Structure 1
């Protein structure tokens, strides 16, 4: 792949431009979420919004350009050229390694320190801070599972004694259900570790006793930071895991809207219902009604809806402006709703099961919100120019 690209020339009649931050890789297509980005491009063209995907480390401070990827309909492929850095960007980077994460973080910080870049969607801190922030909101406190930082074998042993000889451990900064572990100690003293590897493949380990299981788990965790929570019974009548995914997004006026809530049904034997781990999506109300009855199902759906507006507003107040947030909820066998996780870069595959129009809105709303920001930026620049001319 050549290192030199032609410079794209803009003209005064050009459409608005939205940058999409990606982790560019030497492959075809050159980044993750190809189908989603192509869908954004199709929607953007209908709205006179040009989509330019770029990796943050391609920014050149000397001329303010990036190596931008645009979809060429005539060639049916992504093509690259040097293009001006977009004023507003939508972060869809999915770095796969620690080095790649660091490269993205450093490059983006460099851009923000030297330009007036506007991020469409902010970032959330690690899960521990998110739980702490939400637990401070009175109406949400009862939805947050007990949570503690894993501090080695002794901390886990104490946790097992306090929470029925079970625990659910997850990376403090993980995503997509990777590297999670469910710990179960049986009455006869044997123990089981069930979870997912970094590539989301499932694993199941039997240990002769608690000490052996904890030792194996501690070696596996290594220097990574993990959280411990109770092993909640978040399973349906068939014994398979299930949860709810709510997608909250901003509208053109910057107000939070609920795009939809879908149920996610985990693969048999899995510890999570995450779609990346082989789960499937289903309509939320039908799933809840089948498990808890229609009346209770509707009440749970309303509870998740109300909580989602409170959580979205609370997270934005604590951690800065967001454009969208994915919120995951579990429901135990007693019909109690639990908040599980928040994601500032949510997937939207489940929205196809969330009702008519939810899948379409899930892709359209980030672009609609982006155009409202671009309009405000343009208005502000014009006002400043007018003042400067006087």
Structure 2
């Protein structure tokens, strides 16, 4: 008897044919597990048959164009096995290249996969440009412009010095193409000596650092060397702190469902370690239920109002981003709330993590895994002529 998908209500086989396959693109590495996010990918593979999908992990550079196959990783008990399988027709990019060489290899593999006549594939999720590009698009829309903190491109020590003079002696610098809180820098005039600067942040390995009372010229030079030509943005150092001085932000995970519509998977508060300039879980932060956390900060009425404002803002941001960059499967949207209760949009993530959703409830955590699969099935069984993503490796 055919099984009915609970979302799309179309019949499918419990043993999905290879034609209905979702390849989770990863970057292989030494050791076990052989790639990042192995536990999440294992859950995807286990849930795949419920949506009529065969799910496997693979590195795009393993594509054999002559046979149209790739080398896949499949769960095998508590470990993983390798197997040659037909290239997937849909790719879910969850890769985290570890260095520039691996990044080039990964992107080259995606291009070959997209261009191969026998293994042409589509991308489940869209891509965004760097943070500065996203800022410019959102700034051009009245609905989203009011959510944005002042933002400018870093153009060397003089640009940062000018920024400090115009923004109360403080700045927050983020790599335009960064993620997980790596390489962020917070700089401010030292309260005991305005001629010196305090510099805090995280290095490329996501390890926190703190330097006190550097002469301004020396501090600006060291920051410029740390940036090293990478594109960076500068923003005010917003007062995004909780009741005991900890940094925090709000993660809204938005996903498309099995009917192609947007839905909210959950909202979680992400709380940084005391003294940290970031709240990312990868940098040692923790997650908490958003409603409970905001209620403790602002009370029942304002907490409910902020959550409603955040949900409306998330829809506006998604509408503007899709109007410029095409359709997305999911987006992790980060918001800050300052001490006055003002909402700020911080950034959008096309590869959002799942760990914080556990604090949004069991339903949110489960949906965070299931919805990409339901949407993948929707894409693969779409009516003829329906547009969906092809690769645009950046």
TM-score by length of 1: 0.91
The match for 2:188 among 184, 188, 203 is: 184
Deviations 1:56-102 (A, max 9, x none): 100011111111111124xx321112111011111111111111111
Task: Tell me how far apart the structure 1 counterparts of residues 280 and 127 of structure 2 sit (CA, whole Å).
Answer: 21
Superposition pairs of residues 301-380 of structure 1, within 5 angstroms: 301-376=307-382, 380=384
Decide which moves more: 155-164 or 222-231: 222-231
Deviations 1:212-266 (A, max 9, x none): 2111111111111111000000001211001100001001121111111110111
Q: Which residue number in structure 2 is paired with residue 166 of structure 1?
A: 170
Superposition pairs of residues 63-102 of structure 1, within 5 angstroms: 63-73=67-77, 76-102=78-104
The match for 2:148 among 117, 126, 144 is: 144
The match for 1:41 among 36, 39, 45 is: 45
Q: Which residue number in structure 2 is paired with residue 120 of structure 1?
A: 124
Task: Tell me how far apart the structure 2 counterparts of residues 216 and 305 of structure 1 sit (CA, whole Å).
Answer: 40
Q: Which residue number in structure 2 is paired with residue 59 of structure 1?
A: 63
Task: Tell me how far apart the structure 1 counterparts of residues 246 and 66 of structure 2 sit (CA, whole Å).
Answer: 55
The match for 2:280 among 274, 280, 283 is: 274
> Considering only aligned residues, what root-mean-square deviation do their CA atoms show, in Å?
1.6
Q: Which has the higher contact order (CA 8 A, sep 6+)?
A: 2
Task: Tell me how far apart the structure 2 counterparts of residues 140 and 155 of structure 1 sit (CA, whole Å).
Answer: 26
Q: Structure 1: which 5+ runs fail to align? A: 1-10, 382-390
Per-residue deviation, 1:14: 5.6
Q: Structure 2: which 5+ runs fail to align? A: 1-14, 386-394
Q: Which residue number in structure 1 is paired with residue 302 of structure 2?
A: 296
Per-residue deviation, 1:286: 1.1
Task: Tell me how far apart the structure 2 counterparts of residues 209 and 233 of structure 1 sit (CA, whole Å).
Answer: 24
Per-residue deviation, 1:159: 0.2
Task: Tell me how far apart the structure 1 counterparts of residues 268 and 244 of structure 2 sit (CA, whole Å).
Answer: 19
- State the 4+ residue runs in structure 1 displaced beyond 6 angstroms: none
Task: Give the secondary-structure state (helix, strand or coil) at the position aligned to 2:134.
Answer: helix
Deviations 1:99-143 (A, max 9, x none): 111111121112212243111011111110111111112111111
Contact residue 128 and residue 227 of structure 1 kept, 8 A: yes
Per-residue deviation, 1:310: 1.4
Deviations 1:29-52 (A, max 9, x none): 111101101111111133332112
Query: Aligned pair 1:30/2:34, yes or no?
Result: yes
Deviations 1:192-229 (A, max 9, x none): 10001111110001233211211111111111111100
Q: 1:117 to 1:79 in 2, by over 3 A?
A: same
